[in-house]
Chains A and B, each alone.
Chain A
Amino acid sequence: MGRFLAIRLLQAIPVILAVITVTFFLVRVAPGGPFDSEKAVLPEVKAALEAQYRLDLPLFQQYTAYLGDLAQGDFGPSFKYPGRSVNELIGAGLPVTAELGLYALLIATVIGGLAGVIASLRPNTPQDYIPMALAMIGICMPTFLLGPLLVLLFGIELEWLPVSGWGDIPGDKLLPSITLGAAYAAYIARLSRAGMLEVLSQDYIRTARAKGLPEWQVVVKHGLRGGLLPVVAFLGPAFAGLLAGSFVVETIFQIPGLGRFYVQAAFNRDYTMILGTTVFLSTLIVLFNLLSDVLAAWLNPRLRHQFGGKA
């Protein structure tokens, strides 16, 4: 187990290094800089600012200096929020975004998993078509459309739920979580349906029926574990995707999360902020992928020997 994890973590280092390098040079290639503005700035002022943020050094030196800081866990100062470090800004936004992502994932798993399993029990009947059609809509509908629609219906027409905010009024976390989770629920529904269909046609399901077990036991005890394995493998990338993709939802519902900084940083050419959030999120993606791989392998007795010894 330890060896497996160690190897996977080592493999992650070149991936993250590549992300840093590509991002670092890409943002520099993009036209404009953090201190360009429509108003003319005195050349001396601009030079002083650039010197302060080490922008006057040759590009490669800036790169190595940044890597050096990063190795110590320092993402550097933000260019657009003077006096605040990127670490602080991420630290402020992350808990909110993580909470939002977690709720969305929970909603996606429960609703998607249920829908998929129900659909798989009677394939090619209305019990299959209806949830799968809804899932298709869920996949196709962008969050910037679904969010306002939900607000319109539940917030303005019915007046059941608050239209914006995060943690201010009871119930204001519900709509953003649903908006963010909907597409993932749809993916999970399709994944679990396919997984369950595959498992339910296996010989050992026939064995379970031949034992005289009632149908729900056949499905729950013998079917679910194998059928939901693909979903487990998807959860890691999904959670990372939720964190990175929460910008639209955070904007619609005015939530002070990470996503807002991320996009604003790109507009502002806030080099350190762009790099910081990118590196942070890509590290999370790598980690969550690893986590779900480990979990999926752990759930499968045939793969468990990879971790040395049997269960």
Chain B
Amino acid sequence: MALLEVKDLAVSFVTRNGVNKAVDGISFSVESGKITAIIGESGSGKSVACYSMLGLVPMPPGRIDGGSALFNRQDLLQMSESELRKIRGRDIAMIFQDPMTCLNPYMRIGEQMIEPLVYHRGVSKAEAMARAVELLGEVGIRDPETTVNNYPHEFSGGMRQRVMIAMALINEPKLLIADEPTTALDVTIQAQILQLIADLQKSRDIGVIFISHDLAVVADIADEICVMQTGTIVEKGDRAAIFDHAEHPYTQKLLAAIPSGGKEDTVEHDDTLVRVENLRTWFNAEGQIVKAVDDVSFDIRRGEVLGLVGESGSGKSTIGRSLLRLVPVTGGTVTFDDTDVTALEGRALKDMRRRMQMIFQDPFASLNPRMTVFDTLAEPLLLHGIENRKSVAQAVLKLMDDVGLVRSAVRKYPHEFSGGQRQRIAIGRALATRPEFVVADEPVSALDVTIQAQILELMQELGREYGLTMLFVSHDLAVVRHLADRIIVLYQGRIVEEGSGEQLFTTPREAYTQQLLSAIPGHSLGSTPAVS
């Protein structure tokens, strides 16, 4: 008998626009001591399925249409709210995606951790606190005796996720539901957290449901994998079956979207377009100097894609912004086509900005929500006098074609588009002035994997078509390798290693690069994708 046996679970949302079937009759099971992964993109219903079993989907608008979820032979779906409450946090615990927002910022972590223990088992506060300290040590938090009294903001993202995990385990649950627990984390931290979850699950013999949008993440740890698309499970099987003999086209698409392999046509260039010498960008944070970028030098050749890799806080985004003078530079020079960018002022700077553009990470935050796509795309064209009022419409439509958006969408506002489409708009905005050089700052990290693959492809295509030179900034080595001719690895504001993608991947010289490489999820996949 499985620990959890879900049969024909169906959940819908009743809204003004009609009934939306979020989960449409899915069945799966979870065994004790095993990890069942549910994979799907945002909106596929993977989270709703798990939340609805625990009564965490607000009803209305949510509605359970049918099915059963047997946990210890009891049907969770038939339970009253108070019966479910006794199971939540005691027998079934959860960890969530964003450890930054999932802990109460107003309470010390100790107080938060002991709540389930005190509430469900009536343990005294002092006893519960001792247990919390013990668990914090077990999940790898240093000095748990003192840090147990800290507030969440005093921890890093990875450490907060460890706290979340410790809190979920405090009642020794039988089933753990982990909803995208590593999506918000850097790759090296992600690897540590995945390892931690796998270790804890083995040592405690608990069942785990691991929800993720990324097949690669679960490649190393999942026993069973269910692939979900638009509310149904399209394929399910053990790990080997999914990775080696995927049958459903959607699964194959997901596998193909895992970035792997190097860039196909690495060309040698010798014509330097951008030369960065001893660049320093320091910030003054409350009287303390933060050396975000400290003495960095590199060249980018015309037509080249240079990858810039590092974890958050490594200074990679700051370098990109410094090159375009979006942040004040402390020292050093940036030479663009024989002009020192750091010395430009006024009119000359404006002209230079036409030739150097930027694509940002979050296409929703970087597009003005009150401007239509037409206005967004037309603005740089008119501002730089590239087109006049009459000719601008034609130029905008051409841009829409180039970035793969339908022309009829030109009067829509950003919120009417999906994340991938918004990034297309942002790319169109950046390319509108026909720049020679583009800084792409994590352009795909906010997107689902299949969308990610499409956008990367688009950027490659446009790069060729527009003859672009590109600085591609990312925390994800696999993505960068796919696109870049050369890669620079950054750590704490300094360059650690530099080389071609192939060389970095096969013979990394520095320990830090090796660490980054080993953190890429999906080791068991090898270096080539399972589906070609």
Contact = CB atoms under 8 A, between A and B. Distances in A.
Interface string B97-108: 010011111110
Interface stretch (A165-173, A184-192, A203-211): A203-211
B119 A203 contact: no
Given A226-B106, A302-B105, A206 B89 contact: no
Contacts of B86: 212
A85 B167 CA distance: 65
A207 B105 CA distance: 12
B422 interface: no
A41 interface: no
B105 A210 contact: no
Contacts of B107: 221-222, 225
Contacts of A207: 94, 96, 102-104, 164
Interface in B145-160: 150-151, 153-154
A227 B164 CA distance: 23
A212 B171 CA distance: 11
Interface string A199-223: 0001110111111111001000110
Given A226-B106, A300-B106, A210 B154 contact: no
B305 to A, nearest CB: 37
A293 to B, nearest CB: 18
Contacts of A39: none
A214 B86 CA distance: 9
B275 interface: no
A225 B106 contact: yes
B116 A301 contact: no
Given A210-B94, A212-B116, A203 B106 contact: no
A119 B515 CA distance: 52
A213 B119 CA distance: 7
A311 B107 CA distance: 12
Given A206-B56, A212-B87, A212-B88, A310 B120 contact: no
B120 to A, nearest CB: 6
A302 B151 CA distance: 8
Interface in B40-66: 54, 56
B56 to A, nearest CB: 6
A207 B96 CA distance: 8
Contacts of A202: 101
B85 A214 contact: yes
Contacts of A208: 104, 115
Contact of A210 (B54, B101, B104): B54
A214 B81 CA distance: 10
Given A203-B98, A203-B101, A211 B116 contact: yes
B26 interface: no
B106 A210 contact: no
Given A212-B119, A310-B154, A226 B89 contact: no
A154 B249 CA distance: 76
Given A203-B96, A206-B96, A302-B151, A213 B115 contact: yes
Given A222-B107, A302-B151, A206 B88 contact: no
Nearest to B86: A212
Contact of B105 (A206, A213, A226): A226
Given A209-B56, A212-B90, A204 B104 contact: yes
Contact of A204 (B56, B102, B119, B151): B102
A204 B101 contact: yes
B93 interface: yes
B89 A210 contact: yes
B96 A211 contact: no
Contacts of A225: 106-107
Contacts, number: 76
B103 A204 contact: yes
A204 B85 contact: no
A212 B120 contact: yes
A158 B164 CA distance: 59
B101 A211 contact: no
Q: Counting chain A CB atoms within 10 Å of each CB, which of B54, B93, B104 scores highest?
A: B104
Nearest to A207: B102
Nearest to B82: A214
A245 to B, nearest CB: 33
Nearest to A304: B151
Nearest to A311: B151
Contacts of A310: 150-151, 154
Contacts of B98: 203
Nearest to B153: A302
Contacts of B56: 206, 209-210
Contacts of A213: 85, 89, 115-116, 119
B114 to A, nearest CB: 10
B422 to A, nearest CB: 23
Nearest to B120: A212
Contacts of A226: 104-106
A173 to B, nearest CB: 36
A300 B152 CA distance: 12
Contacts of B119: 211-213, 217
Interface string B406-441: 000000000000000000000000000000000000
A203 B102 contact: yes
A213 B167 CA distance: 14
Contacts of B93: 210-211
A299 to B, nearest CB: 8
A222 B101 CA distance: 13
Interface in B101-134: 101-107, 115-116, 119-120
Contacts of A222: 104, 107
Interface string A227-249: 00000000000000000000000
A302 B104 CA distance: 11
Q: Counting chain B CB atoms within 10 Å of each CB, which of A210, A300, A301 scores highest?
A: A210
B151 to A, nearest CB: 4
A211 B495 CA distance: 44
A172 B226 CA distance: 71
B425 to A, nearest CB: 28
A210 B105 CA distance: 17
A86 B100 CA distance: 56
B227 to A, nearest CB: 25
Interface in A120-152: none
A256 B96 CA distance: 60
A311 B108 CA distance: 10
B55 to A, nearest CB: 8
A217 B115 CA distance: 10
Contacts of A210: 54, 56, 88-89, 93-94, 96
A212 B101 contact: no
A211 B88 contact: yes
Given A203-B98, A203-B101, A212 B154 contact: no
A226 B152 CA distance: 14
Contacts of A299: 106
A99 B104 CA distance: 37
Q: Counting chain A CB atoms within 10 Å of each CB, which of B98, B106, B150, B153 scores highest?
A: B106
A210 B179 CA distance: 12
Interface of A: 202-204, 206-214, 217, 221-222, 225-226, 299-302, 310-311
Given A211-B93, A300-B106, 5 more contacts: A207-B94, A212-B120, A221-B107, A226-B104, A310-B150
Nearest 7 interchain pairs by C-beta: A212-B89, A211-B89, A212-B88, A203-B101, A301-B151, A204-B104, A210-B94
11 contacts: A211-B89, A212-B86, A213-B85, A213-B89, A213-B116, A221-B107, A226-B105, A300-B105, A301-B105, A301-B151, A310-B150
